[in-house]
Amino acid sequence: MTDALRLLVIEDNDALRASLGELLTGAGHVVSLVADGRAGLQHALTDPPDVVVLDLGLPGLDGVRVCQALRERADRHIPILMLTARDTLDDKLRGFDVGADDYLVKPFANEELLARCLALSRRHRAGASHVQRIGTLEIDRRSGQVRRAGRVLDLRQTALRILLILADAWPRPVTRSELIRRLWGDDPPESDPLRTHLYLLRQALDKPFDAPMLVTIHEVGFRLEADV
C-alpha cells in the first residue's frame, strides 16, 4: 500500500474532472476537484495539496497563469503535473518556464497519471525542497538551473527535459521508447532528434568532467549514475 496523497485537480471539463476524481479516489487518495483556475489557485494556496493536477487550457486564469501564481505566492514548492490537450512542444516549453514539474498529454492512461502523481510526491517528500541532488549534480526545479560539481550547466530545453525525466526515474533506467513518449507523446518527430538531444545533454553534463553520469544501458535505455 502506498500512502494516500492529497490531490487537487483543476480541470474545467466536467466529464474529465469527474473521471479523474473517481480514478484518484478509487486509488485511495484524497481528492479536491475544482473547475476553474482562480478557485484552484486559491485552494492550492490556502490548503496546499501534495500534488496539483492542472489543466493547461482553463477559462479565466489558464494553467500557465495558475502555475506562475502558485510559484510566486506559495511559501513552498507544490508539485504540479500539467495536463496538455495537444503534445505541442510550445506548450511544454511554456509550461516548464513557469515551473510545472511534469506533463501529461491528453488522452493519457490512468495508470500513467497515478504513477506520475506518486513520483512527484515522492520526489518532493524525499527532497523536501525543489532541489534534487544526485552525486554532485544539483537540479533546481523551480529555476530550471542545473549544476554539476558547483558548475552551472548550459542545457537547452529538450536536453533539460531529458535530464529531468532521468532524474525522476533515478536510480532506475528509462527506456528509449519511454523517453520519446514523454518528450513527444504519441506523435514523435520522424527523424531521430533524440540522438541529437542526448548528444547535447552529454556535451553539457559529462564532457567537462571525468566520469560520465549519463549512461547507456545496452538494450535497456539510459540512466543517471551518481558521480560520487
Chain contacts with Ca ion (rule: CB under 5 A): 12, 55, 57
Q: How far is the CB of 115 from Ca ion (least distance, A)?
A: 22
Residue 20 vs 179, nearer CB to Ca ion: 20
Compute the least distance from the CB of residue 11 to Ca ion, in Å: 6
Nearer to Ca ion, 84 or 121 (CB): 84
Cell numbers given for 156 = 537547452
String of b and e for 78-100 (b: at least 16 CB within 10 Å)? bbbbbbbeebeeebbebbbebbb
User: In the complex with Ca ion, which residue's Cβ is closer, 18 or 30?
Assistant: 18
* Single-letter amino acid, residue 73: R
Q: How far is the CB of 13 from Ca ion (least distance, A)?
A: 5
Nearer to Ca ion, 58 or 194 (CB): 58
* Cell numbers 484552484: residue: 40
CB 147 within 8 A of CB 153: yes
Residue 71 CB, nearest approach to Ca ion (Å): 20
R_g of the chain, CA atoms, integer Å: 17
Least Å distance, CB 12 to Ca ion, is 5
Residue nearest to Ca ion (CB): 57
Beta bridge partners of 81: 53, 102
Residue with Cβ nearer Ca ion (9 or 174): 9
* Phi/psi at 190 (5° precision): -75, -35
For residues 26 and 189, what is the distance between their CA atoms, to the nearest angstrom? 36
